Amino acid sequence: MTTSEHGNVDFQSDGTKRDIEENETSPLLQNEILQTRTKGASFASSVFNLMNAIMGSGILGLAYAIASTGIVSFCILLLLVASLAAYSIHLLLKLCDQTGINSYEDLGGQALKKPGKILVGITILIQNIGAMSSYLFILKSELPATINSLLSPDEPGDAWYQDGQMLLILVTLCVVLPLAMLPKIGFLGYASSLSFFFMLYFAIVVVIKKWSIPCPLPSNMTMPPGTYQISNSSDSDCTPNFFIISSKSAYAIPTMAFSFLCHTAVLPIYCELDQPTKKRMQNVANVGISLSFLVYMLSALFGYLTFYAHVNSELLMNYDAYMPRDIMVITVRLAILLAVLLTVPLIHFPARKAVNMLLFGGRPFSWVIHVLETLTLVGVVLLLAILVPDIRNVFGVVGSTTSTCLLFVFPAVFYLKLGDQPVGSPESLGAAALLVFGLIVGVLSLFVIIVTWVQNP
CATH code for the domain of 57: 1.20.1740.10
Q: What mean pLDDT, rounded, does the chain reach? A: 81
Rounded CA separation 149/143 (Å): 10
Q: 9-23, 48-62, 207-221, 282-296: which has the highest mean pLDDT?
A: 282-296
pLDDT the model gives residue 162: 76
Rounded CA separation 92/73 (Å): 28
CB-based contacts of 124, cutoff 8 Å, min separation 6: 28, 29, 104, 105, 264, 350, 351, 354, 402, 406
Kindly give the interhelix angle for 426-455 and 391-398, rounded to the nearest 10 degrees. Answer: 140
User: Is residue 2 situated within a structural domain?
Assistant: no
Q: Residue 44, class by beta-carbon neighbours within 10 Å (0-12 exposed, 13-18 middle, 19+ buried)?
A: exposed
Q: Lowest-confidence range among 106-110, 263-267, 330-334, 384-388?
A: 263-267
Q: What is the pLDDT of residues 215-232, one digit of tens each?
A: 776 655 555 544 444 333
Type of residue at 319: Y
User: Is residue 217 situated within a structural domain?
Assistant: yes
User: Is residue 362 situated within a structural domain?
Assistant: yes
**Cα-Cα-Cα-Cα dihedral of 448, 395, 393, 235, to 10°?**
90
Q: Is the whole-model pTM more than 0.85? A: no
In total, how many domains does the chain have?
1
What residues pair up with 72 in beta bridges, in sequence order? none
What residues pair up with 312 in beta bridges, in sequence order? 227
Q: 27-41, 249-263, 314-328: which has the highest mean pLDDT?
A: 249-263
**pLDDT of 16 higher than 70:** no
Name the pLDDT band for 276 (thresholds 50, 70, 90): confident
User: Is residue 302 situated within a structural domain?
Assistant: yes
Name the pLDDT band for 82 (thresholds 50, 70, 90): very high
| Average confidence (pLDDT) over 355-363 | 79
pLDDT the model gives residue 223: 52
Q: Residue 75, class by beta-carbon neighbours within 10 Å (0-12 exposed, 13-18 middle, 19+ buried)?
A: middle
Tell me how far CA of residue 208 lies from CA of 13, 289, 337, 348, in angstroms: 35, 24, 20, 34
pLDDT the model gives residue 184: 66
- Buried b or exposed e, range 195-233, using 16+ CB within 10 angstroms: bbebbbbbbbbbbebbeebeeebeeeeebbebbbebeee
Rounded CA separation 386/138 (Å): 11
User: Is residue 11 situated within a structural domain?
Assistant: no
Q: What is the pLDDT of residues 287-346, one digit of tens each?
A: 999 999 999 999 999 999 988 888 888 888 888 777 777 888 889 888 888 888 888 888
Parent domain of 135: 20-455
pLDDT the model gives residue 388: 83
Rounded CA separation 364/250 (Å): 43
How many residues are there in the chain? Answer: 457
Of 145, 132, 169, 179, the C-alpha closest to 386 is 169
User: Is residue 433 situated within a structural domain?
Assistant: yes
Rounded CA separation 447/451 (Å): 6
pLDDT the model gives residue 410: 95
Q: What is the pLDDT of residues 385-438, one digit of tens each?
A: 998 888 888 888 888 899 999 999 999 999 999 988 888 888 899 999 999 999
pLDDT the model gives residue 48: 84
User: Is residue 13 situated within a structural domain?
Assistant: no
**pLDDT of 18 higher than 80:** no
Cα 87 → chain centroid: 19
What is the 3 state secondary structure string of the chain?
CCCCCCCCCCCCCCCCCCCHHHHCCCCCCCCCCCCCCCCCECHHHHHHHHHHHHCCHHHHCHHHHHHHHCHHHHHHHHHHHHHHHHHHHHHHHHHHHHHCCCCHHHHHHHHHHHHHHHHHHHHHHHHHHHHHHHHHHHHHHHHHHHHHHHCCCCCCCCCHHHCHHHHHHHHHHHHHHHHHHCCCCHHHHHHHCHHHHHHHHHHHHHHHHCCCCCCCCCCCCCCCCCECCCCCCCCCCCCCCCCCCCHHHHHHHHHHHHHHCCHHHHHHHHHHECCCCHHHHHHHHHHHHHHHHHHHHHHHHHHHHHHHHHCECCCHHHHHHHCCCCHHHHHHHHHHHHHHHHHHHHHHHHHHHHHHHHHHCCCCCCHHHHHHHHHHHHHHHHHHHHHCCCHHHHHHHHHHHHHHHHHHHHHHHHHHHHCCCCCCCHHHHHHHHHHHHHHHHHHHHHHHHHHHHHHCC
User: Is residue 12 situated within a structural domain?
Assistant: no
Name the pLDDT band for 380 (thresholds 50, 70, 90): very high
Name the pLDDT band for 69 (thresholds 50, 70, 90): very high
pLDDT the model gives residue 367: 85
pLDDT the model gives residue 271: 84
pLDDT the model gives residue 126: 92
pLDDT the model gives residue 190: 65
Q: What is the pLDDT of residues 155-182, one digit of tens each?
A: 666 677 778 889 999 999 998 999 888 7
| Average confidence (pLDDT) over 134-143 | 89
What residues pair up with 41 in beta bridges, in sequence order? 273
Name the pLDDT band for 186 (thresholds 50, 70, 90): low
Of 319, 61, 300, 297, the C-alpha closest to 212 is 319
